[in-house]
Amino acid sequence: MSGGIARGRLAEERKAWRKNHPHGFVARPETGADGALNLMVWQCTLPGKVGTDWEGGFYPVAIHFSEDYPSKPPKCKFPQGFFHPNVYPSGTVCLSILNEDSVRPSALVKDHV
């Protein structure tokens, strides 16, 4: 799949996200020094789930999309040292909990956030 398709899809998803997204969640493409948006890397903030030790917190995660998106899922990375049982000390999500073969090209950014 060409990167143009991935970027086009992400531009549409950004537009949809700006109109309607879950309360408390933030997801936006990175902005370069020149002010240009990088649709392939999004900086996100996730609210802690109610009823868990993470409740009340807001947690940063970067989502990296490949040129093969949406056929291949994005990679998510928390800051180094982030503590969670499914996140390595490097910030990488434990891949054994992810099933890349089950990704649906119809999944949207908000399904990954």
**Which residues carry out catalysis?**
94
What's the rounded Cα separation, in Å, for the pair 2 and 68?
Answer: 7
What's the rounded Cα separation, in Å, for the pair 81 and 30?
Answer: 22
Contact 52, 18 (CB under 8 A): no
